[in-house]
Amino acid sequence: MILHLASFRWVDSVTDEDIDRLTAALTAMAAQIPELRSYVAGPNLHLRPGGMDYAVAAVVDGEAGLHAYLDHPAHAQVYADLMGGMLADRAAAQLPLTEGSLA
């Protein structure tokens, strides 16, 4: 399994309503992609100083599942409709997972 982590920093004009719309769109998108075993998206709680504004954590079975998720038309649509205009910065990483490693 692979854990895909993506974090985002927003441009200054992004509102709470924009973030709520994005979160709803990402949640709906995830429901359309069968390769996703687990999916969480939301604003950073900012419990520690610094950091990004928003993050996504997606678990897929392997590299093919990762590409199926990232290349899915619903993923591209959320980016085109919402996220693209919100982004100031983005970072991503993929980590290997074993059964039980998220327990």
Q: What is the pLDDT of residues 1-22, one digit of tens each?
A: 999 999 999 999 999 999 999 9
Q: Where are the domains of the chain?
A: 2-96
- Rounded to an integer, what distance in angstroms lies between the CA atom of residue 52 and that of residue 8? 6
Q: What is the pLDDT of residue 50?
A: 87
Q: What is the pLDDT of residue 64?
A: 96
Is the domain 2-96 a CATH 3.90.870.40 member? Answer: no
- Rounded to an integer, what distance in angstroms lies between the CA atom of residue 59 and that of residue 81? 24
Strand partners, 41: 56
- Rounded to an integer, what distance in angstroms lies between the CA atom of residue 99 and that of residue 103? 9
Q: What is the pLDDT of residues 45-91, one digit of tens each?
A: 999 998 999 999 999 999 999 999 999 999 999 999 999 999 999 99
